[in-house]
Structure 1
């Protein structure tokens, strides 16, 4: 029985490459855990539990840190200390010593699982699908000779399709980097 537990712990500590995707999604499904990771990434240093609790409470309540009451802070502090930080530590995402929280190397891998899409935007996968359909229509039109080539040559049309993908990719990369946990003031 002890070997199974030791084996399970060894597997869990082997890194996020071996961590079950369901477990990672479960970790990230809770906003307090995401906020904790966001704050630690943003600070890029070990943080005190009280400091983390103040910021998480402020984000949850949409207040300034100075506006958080001691009751609100204590509620978040207790929840982080008793539930969320031990959960993140078990998954090897943080090192937690009851007062100080520090991200592990495994936590840096979490961005792969977060494709944050702003509320006023469409998912990038759907956008690229639409762009591919539009490009296919243009290319099919060129093959069927229904797209005019007098003002824009076939190479010009192909270049336009390529440029639309290139510009879209650059915008996607910039927006994705900006929306990562720890990159913005407020958590996404």
Structure 2
């Protein structure tokens, strides 16, 4: 869940959170999302060479061990010149020059980003829950008006069904949500669907 309150650089330096605009700007580029994922997944500072290797591997859909110097050279360059300075500007990372290490700040550690990647045939969770609530309301109406065969069901039976349906859905949603959080899995969430 993203909790976002601060709107300017001065307020962020006093410990407040990033604004929505700042977060969306950071996440608007795939390479920055990959860097954020790698940093949240790693323990401690990460060398820019290692970051560029992982980002290259994810972009090309290959194993990080198979990434050559020539493969990652362009990624390394754009990370150092463009993406890492933007993340440092937002105070979510610090960069040391010798050796060239990137370390997440508490602002990045506190930022939970969930990525819900949907194909054209999938429905978002919000629409799923609206449908489930609509089904429960229709069943309640059918039971209370005595429409056969629903008239045989008791309101208690309906309550148990609705509780089980929402409870099971919520547990499944929680488990799926854990896998779609940046930094929680080996690969970024947007690459999980490819496997």
With the shorter chain as reference, the TM-score category is 0.7 to 0.9
The aligned length equals 178
Once the two structures are superposed, residues 126-168 of structure 1 have per-residue CA deviations (whole angstroms, 9 ceiling, x without a partner) of: 1111111111111122222225243x32101111011100110
Once the two structures are superposed, residues 23-43 of structure 1 have per-residue CA deviations (whole angstroms, 9 ceiling, x without a partner) of: 211111111111111111111
- Given that 2:114 and 2:177 are in contact with CA atoms closer than 8 Å, whether structure 1 keeps it comes out as no
Q: Structure 1 length normalisation: TM-score?
A: 0.86
- Given that 1:16 and 1:109 are in contact with CA atoms closer than 8 Å, whether structure 2 keeps it comes out as no
Q: 1:60 to 1:92 in 2, by over 3 A?
A: same
Q: 1:129 to 1:49 in 2, by over 3 A?
A: same
Q: 1:115 to 1:69 in 2, by over 3 A?
A: closer
| Aligned residue number for residue 184 of structure 1 | 185
Measured in 1, the distance between the counterparts of 2:146 and 2:105 equals 58
Cα distance, 1:15 vs. partner? 4.3
Measured in 1, the distance between the counterparts of 2:34 and 2:15 equals 21
Q: 1:102 to 1:117 in 2, by over 3 A?
A: same
> Are 1:158 and 2:154 counterparts?
no
Measured in 2, the distance between the counterparts of 1:54 and 1:62 equals 12
| Aligned residue number for residue 114 of structure 2 | 114
> Are 1:13 and 2:4 counterparts?
no
Q: Secondary structure at the match of 2:127?
A: helix
Measured in 2, the distance between the counterparts of 1:69 and 1:115 equals 29
| Aligned residue number for residue 131 of structure 2 | 130
| Aligned residue number for residue 36 of structure 2 | 37
- Given that 2:56 and 2:75 are in contact with CA atoms closer than 8 Å, whether structure 1 keeps it comes out as yes
Q: Structure 2 length normalisation: TM-score?
A: 0.83
Where does structure 1 lack aligned partners over 5 or more consecutive residues? 1-7
* Runs of 4+, deviation exceeding 6 Å: none
Where does structure 2 lack aligned partners over 5 or more consecutive residues? 1-7, 190-195
Larger helix proportion of the pair: 1
Once the two structures are superposed, residues 59-105 of structure 1 have per-residue CA deviations (whole angstroms, 9 ceiling, x without a partner) of: 11111122222122111111111110110111111111231111112
The residue correspondences of 1:40-119 to structure 2 (distance < 5 A) are 40-98=39-97, 99-111=100-112, 113-119=113-119
- Given that 2:114 and 2:180 are in contact with CA atoms closer than 8 Å, whether structure 1 keeps it comes out as no
